[in-house]
Structure 1
């Protein structure tokens, strides 16, 4: 990892922006380094931006970012951040993968941000490394790269590889890097400047607790929801879910209806269909493989349920980039 025992040395940063990269993770990462320069009155950090072809890159919000050039053999920053978003699994540029391997071989620390770990994995740069990725990409990422050691934290640093889940986790990563290179006092100033009132470490959770996400406090409901999320490919029956909750099936059904407004079967089906959409968008798995990965033994049954929930077929959904797991045609009926 880059360190600066000589505090006057400049740490060079590179940002490879992939089309449709997520703006928030990028901004939350680069701004702390700018703040470190401003608050210290010293140019501790310098950076350049790259794209695949040397042209401007459009972010997820439509804003175009001008770059300093294309990623080529002359790029050799101390840290190269690969920023991606949208559907990073669709990026298959072999020339970029080769350049990333060359830069990594030269000693540069390579970091994948938000969807960036997909790019690093495709380039073969995460083999034998621990890594993380944004929770929404995790299911598809695990399917695409079953041999990788995927963790669920905010960011993972493994030698000269860094992976960061995105969102505002880039701020936490940047503050940690600044602290290591230039001391905890400057890191604390940078954090305070960005209204970071609580430190978050790499192993922190990406998502709120189930209780917070569902706005429920009953431990039986929380336990059964956790069991559902952990068993998408091989769904548990209602009796097993009730056993996890320490309740009878009838009691659990009543609690789901009262607190969630859905039955056990409806909620489980929703989770499985949302997982299916992510796999369709971010992997090359066939419709049959997606169905099986999400607990549907019959592909026709899967297609009917999918259309009822999303208003389109699985194959049409694969070709519809704007379709979100959170938009639906109505609550699914039955299990």
Structure 2
């Protein structure tokens, strides 16, 4: 079914048609994430439909210019290869799995060249890594999917990395992926043509809670762990913020006004493990992310996760994941 078969939406707001549509250039990287691309594109389509006029237009480009495959295995036909764009266009690079491999020299060179025109450039999902590797986020604020946060922070320390769902810093835009693309596009639609139009587009998307760049990506700690205990949540938050320099259970307990024994009982009751074991699992999870997402040496990964020696790190890693850090990285490669 196409749009012509659907009933016309009510014209609840009047929008003055621009002299020409605001043009978006979507650059789809190999193995891009379909949801974040489709969410962004459909928001633009619905803005046109609700307004009853062409507010936005778009082009799909890619490195080979013909067909690109998303991470779900579906192929998308492109409008052409990477080519010169207009100075008023907005470029949105869409990343997905194995973004470092998909960020080829050709892609980086094209982005740098077009960026010199002063166009707005964005990275959806993991494509913040692509912009950073192209030198386009230096000194900027950015965000990326929480799963890639640790590796990105280690790889690009000069970039102010946030945990928000999207970030806009001058002419650089980044999102955390998934439905965050909807929030970004609604923000841009509201900026361009007013909040009433953005609200109507959200209604069309059955999107009842529009988020801003002040909203964080992940669920709250109580929701994630399935336990609503304020002092337990505070301790876990402290653990997550102190991976490189672990804090002792005694210090954590004192910070929330408990004894070490009380903290032990709290973790046993709600999480069925000791604070020490839970903390170790957090550190090992970060280590695994760094092994998968960066070229950091094993010793540097160990140090970044609070281990003082590679041998101790390897022993703990093998006990938890059933393989050594060296084999983990080799298998992933």
The alignment partner of 1:147 has SS state of coil
- How far off is 1:275 after superposition? 0.3
Match of 2:173 in 1: 162
Kindly tell me the number of residue pairs found equivalent between the two proteins: 319
Unaligned runs of 5+ residues in structure 2 are 1-14
- How far off is 1:91 after superposition? 4.0
Partners of 1:68 and 1:321 in 2: how far apart?
33
Match of 2:59 in 1: 48
Say whether residues 1:268 and 2:279 are aligned partners.
yes
Match of 2:23 in 1: 12
Match of 2:5 in 1: none
Partners of 1:29 and 1:292 in 2: how far apart?
39
Say whether residues 1:65 and 2:73 are aligned partners.
no
The range that moved more, 248-257 or 175-184, is: 175-184
- How far off is 1:67 after superposition? 0.8
- Which residue of 275, 291, 315 maps to 1:280? 291
Match of 2:317 in 1: 306
The one-character-per-residue Cα deviations of 1:128-148 (angstroms, maximum 9, x if unpaired) are: 211111111111111001111
Say whether residues 1:240 and 2:262 are aligned partners.
no
The alignment partner of 1:86 has SS state of coil
Contact 1:7/1:182 (<8 A) preserved: no
The alignment partner of 1:216 has SS state of coil
Unaligned runs of 5+ residues in structure 1 are 323-335
The alignment partner of 1:176 has SS state of helix
Partners of 1:175 and 1:9 in 2: how far apart?
20
- How far off is 1:7 after superposition? 2.6
The alignment partner of 2:112 has SS state of helix
Superposed CA RMSD: 1.8
- How far off is 1:246 after superposition? 1.6
Give TM-score scaled by structure 2 length.
0.91
Say whether residues 1:173 and 2:184 are aligned partners.
yes
The alignment partner of 2:59 has SS state of strand
The one-character-per-residue Cα deviations of 1:6-25 (angstroms, maximum 9, x if unpaired) are: 63421111111111111111
Match of 1:217 in 2: 228
Change (3 A) 1:233 1:5: farther
Match of 2:147 in 1: 136
Matches within 5 A, 1:82-93: 82-93=93-104
- Which residue of 205, 218, 226 maps to 2:216? 205
The one-character-per-residue Cα deviations of 1:238-279 (angstroms, maximum 9, x if unpaired) are: 111112222111100111010011111111111111101110
Partners of 1:134 and 1:118 in 2: how far apart?
10
